[in-house]
């Protein structure tokens, strides 16, 4: 196991190591039992839209049994899922021994659907030339940061009867929310702890260009959303675990909320990214000038 440079020298928080370059399946069993106060994590969704780690498989169930072992009794796990695979994630977490309490919904303005327009596909497959409605100046799809307008985009209407019948239909829907499983490790009595009343719908925009600056991870969560989550399941000074660290947003949120954290990430490039973000956040917290990473 190789630790990120920052992980070797903890700054401002007590318990090393915090940023671990490892496969969680291998590393979690080496951590001490009941040493974690909350798990907040964003595992691969198995929807095959981003990178190899996201392609086909949900995390092994053993990850969730390990999270159960590591959590103190009566404490919680919050895990993101995708609309299409959430039910399998929730079932795996339950099978590991957690009690599923509820589902939180992170709602955001809908983006573009990962979808093929059926009407256009029908006309194209039949070699029918679509009726051009007009031209719109747009930015290059491949270089969204290009300062100038570099491409013209045409919009068109269906021509064949079959295409007209399917106008407006696609092979997928644009997502507008992500479910988050809330599950709890029962107390030693087998009962569940009480929970404060709270909203179960969370409204946060996806990270904008400024928040994503220098971060090329494909599935970054908003810091504000992760701060909301870590404060629901831990209090200052407690330890938050994220076995699927990504670019480290859970750690950034934990640091801003004065929690300790353990992040595990298998991709060394992402571990470097985590170290950069945590160092920057730590500097901001120390100077206390700004609470933004």
Shortest approach of ligand SAM to residue 202 CB, angstroms?
A: 15
Nearer of residues 231 and 247 to ligand SAM, judged by Cβ: 247
Site string for ligand SAM, 3-42 (x = CB under 6 A): --------------------xxx----------------x
Site string for ligand SAM, 47-66 (x = CB under 6 A): ------x-------------
**Contact between 225 and ligand SAM per CB under 6 A:** no
Shortest approach of ligand SAM to residue 279 CB, angstroms?
A: 16
Q: Which span (176-184, 241-249, 254-262, 285-293) binds ligand SAM, by CB under 6 A?
A: 241-249
Handedness of CA 102, 108, 109, 114 (dihedral sign): negative
Nearer of residues 122 and 264 to ligand SAM, judged by Cβ: 264
Q: Which span (29-37, 144-152, 168-176, 243-251) binds ligand SAM, by CB under 6 A?
A: 243-251
Shortest approach of ligand SAM to residue 147 CB, angstroms?
A: 27
In the bound state, the residue with its beta carbon closest to ligand SAM is 246
Shortest approach of ligand SAM to residue 231 CB, angstroms?
A: 17
d(CA 249, CA 217): 11
List 75, 76, 185, 217, residue binding ligand SAM (CB under 6 A): 217
d(CA 269, CA 283): 21
Q: Output the 3-class SS for the chain.
A: CEECHHHHCCCCCCCCCCEEECCHHHHHHHCCCCCEEEEEECCCCCCCCCCHHHCCCCCCHHHHHHHHHHEEEEEEEEEECCCCCHHHHHHHHHHCCCEEEEEEEEECCCCCCCCCEHHHHHHHHCCCCCEEEEEEEECCCCCCCCCCCCEEEEEEECCCHHHHHCCCCECCCCCCEEEEEEEECCCCCCCCCCCCCCCCEEECCCCCHHHHCCCCCCCCCCHHHHHHHHHHHCCCCCEEEECCCCCCHHHHHHHHCCCEEEEEECCHHHHHHHHHHHHHHHHHHHHCCCCCC
d(CA 259, CA 224): 15
**Contact between 275 and ligand SAM per CB under 6 A:** no
List 39, 249, 253, 278, residue binding ligand SAM (CB under 6 A): 249
**Contact between 204 and ligand SAM per CB under 6 A:** no
Of 33, 59, 67, 63, nearest to 241 (Cα)?
A: 67
Size of the site for ligand SAM (CB under 6 A): 19
Nearer of residues 41 and 184 to ligand SAM, judged by Cβ: 41
β-bridge mates for residue 195, sequence order = none
Nearer of residues 92 and 265 to ligand SAM, judged by Cβ: 265
List 260, 265, 282, 285, residue binding ligand SAM (CB under 6 A): 265
Contact footprint for ligand SAM (CB under 6 A): 23-25, 42, 44, 53, 217, 219-221, 244, 246-247, 249, 264-267, 270
């Amino acid at each position: 196991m190789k630790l990120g440079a920052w992980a070797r020298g903890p700054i401002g928080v007590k318990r090393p190591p915090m940023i671990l370059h490892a496969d969680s399946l291998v590393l979690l069993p080496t951590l001490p039992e009941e040493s974690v106060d909350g798990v907040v994590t964003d595992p691969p969704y198995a929807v095959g839209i981003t990178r190899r780690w996201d392609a086909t498989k949900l995390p092994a169930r053993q990850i969730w049994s390990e999270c159960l072992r590591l959590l103190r009794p009566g404490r919680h796990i919050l895990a993101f899922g995708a609309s299409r695979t959430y039910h399998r994630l929730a079932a795996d977490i339950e099978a590991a021994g957690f009690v599923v309490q509820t589902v939180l919904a992170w709602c955001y303005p809908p983006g573009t659907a990962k979808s093929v327009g059926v009407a256009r596909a029908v006309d194209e497959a039949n070699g029918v030339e679509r009726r051009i409605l007009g031209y719109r100046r747009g930015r290059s799809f491949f270089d969204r940061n290009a300062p100038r307008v570099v491409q013209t985009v045409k919009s068109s209407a269906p021509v064949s009867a079959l295409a007209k019948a399917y106008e407006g239909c696609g092979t997928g829907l644009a997502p507008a929310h992500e479910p988050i499983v809330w599950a709890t490790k029962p107390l030693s009595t087998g009962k569940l702890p009480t929970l404060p009343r709270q909203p179960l719908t969370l409204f946060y925009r996806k990270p904008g260009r400024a928040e994503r600056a220098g971060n090329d991870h494909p599935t970054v969560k908003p810091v504000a959303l992760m701060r909301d989550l870590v404060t629901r399941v831990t209090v200052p000074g407690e330890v938050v675990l994220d076995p699927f660290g990504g670019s480290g947003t859970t750690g950034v949120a934990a640091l801003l909320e004065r929690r300790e954290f353990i992040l595990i990430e298998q991709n060394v490039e992402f571990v470097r990214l985590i170290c950069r973000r945590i160092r920057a956040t730590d500097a901001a917290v120390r100077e206390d000038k700004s609470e933004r990473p």
